[in-house]
Amino acid sequence: MKINKIGNVNFIDGGVCAAKGFRANGIQCGLAHKPLTDTEKNSAVSNNAVPSAKKKNDLALIVSDKECNAVAVYTTNKVKGAPIVVTRKHLENGRARAVIVNSVNANTCNPDGIQKAEKMCELTAGQLGISVDDVIVASTGVIGQVLPIEPIAGGMQELAEGLSYDGNKRALEAIMTTDTRPKEIAVEFEMGGKICRMGGMLKGSGMIHPNMATTLTFITTDADISTELLQLALSDVVKVTLNRVSVDGDTSTNDMVCVMASGTAENKPVVREDEDFEIFENALYNIMMNLARMMARDGEGATKLIECTVSGAETERIAETVAKSVITSSLFKAAMFGEDANWGRILCAVGYADADFDINKVDVKIASDKGCIHVCENGAGVDFSEETAKEILSGDEILILVSVGNGSGSAVAWGCDLTYDYVKINGDYRS
């Protein structure tokens, strides 16, 4: 998948271990896993993703060599997993040093959920010799099933002893559920006269919708930035990245994005909204925008990434509303799976968007690495070759380019096609 670059950053390897002073590990501690379907096995093999010959890792740990400034954003769902409640409490002081996370079980809607989440933090703190309040906890998986703490407790020593400065891929595997592709990225950038690094990893494939996509996202950086500005940057960037992704219209209960900044790069501390803050925010955007694209590309059962860019709006908000309307349309998503240039479905989704613009000024183009075709001008269809359109739609990254006027507002949103496999995956998710 193409990596998009905005501004002055360089992409590097290492994921959450790219930043100086961060170690990670992931193990299989014994939480139950269902067998992979044939589709998942084939996808894993073709994408060099989760091994199909063994149970995957299910418990991950990320640790900083020193205490970090740390912030997070959380799901907007009224039902919230127990780890959300505990992590919110631990981050009240804006400090953290470790992240413990399990897959398989979401630890949500359980009478002992808070107790189990707190116990995970206690086990982590005890193994690492740090304060329990410096531990972020997260869980993902099936909702409403009691989380067995015994496998986690039994695996903590192995997990901690295996921490390494190149353990990012083991940790990444441990947070994946229905994901078929690993999602991690890292960048380096100059700020305050020093080279800083930032890396992130994400899980997310289904139950993904704007206003916090269903994801666990963990980002580390060695940049020195205040907690207040770290929160501001995260809150700003999530709005134009993860909050503009939709796979199926469902917003989950355990969504969390957390960022830890250790300051070990020894740059001049970022304490005001100046040029250095803009540099930092741009680096964070590069991380989260690319993770958002990876998540959309790996939507459950998906075969195509869909990127909708809307321009010419009076405001960015109008453009965003229209772009989201397009990428969330089930009819349009199904047409993309069928490689059918049914542009009327695009215009339909544009038309019911809750935004003000003149539908008679709407233009639509469809593009991929195989070409570009104009399908709608001034709200009406134009002649085009169905054969050429079919070829363009055979690509695995489809661009929908919509203009709604002559304004300066623009926005991008990401989604995927809707396939038979989406129903198969979710029809037997617990079995």
404, 350 Cβ separation under 8 angstroms: yes
- Number of residues that this document lists for the chain: 431
β-strand partners of 26? 60
What lies within 8 Å, CB to CB, of 199 at 6+ separation is: 14, 15, 16, 17, 18, 19, 22, 168, 184, 185, 186, 187, 219, 220, 221, 287
12, 6 Cβ separation under 8 angstroms: no
Q: Kindly give the pairing relationship between strand 22-27 and strand 184-191.
A: unpaired
Count CB neighbours of 399 within 10 A.
18
| Nearest one of 56, 74, 77 to 174, comparing CA atoms | 56
**Residue 124 and residue 83: Cα distance in Å, rounded?**
14
Q: Kindly give the pairing relationship between strand 371-377 and strand 363-368.
A: antiparallel
**Residue 254 and residue 114: Cα distance in Å, rounded?**
13
| Nearest one of 393, 346, 219 to 289, comparing CA atoms | 219
Catalytic residues: 214
For residue 419 the two structure tokens come to 């396939």
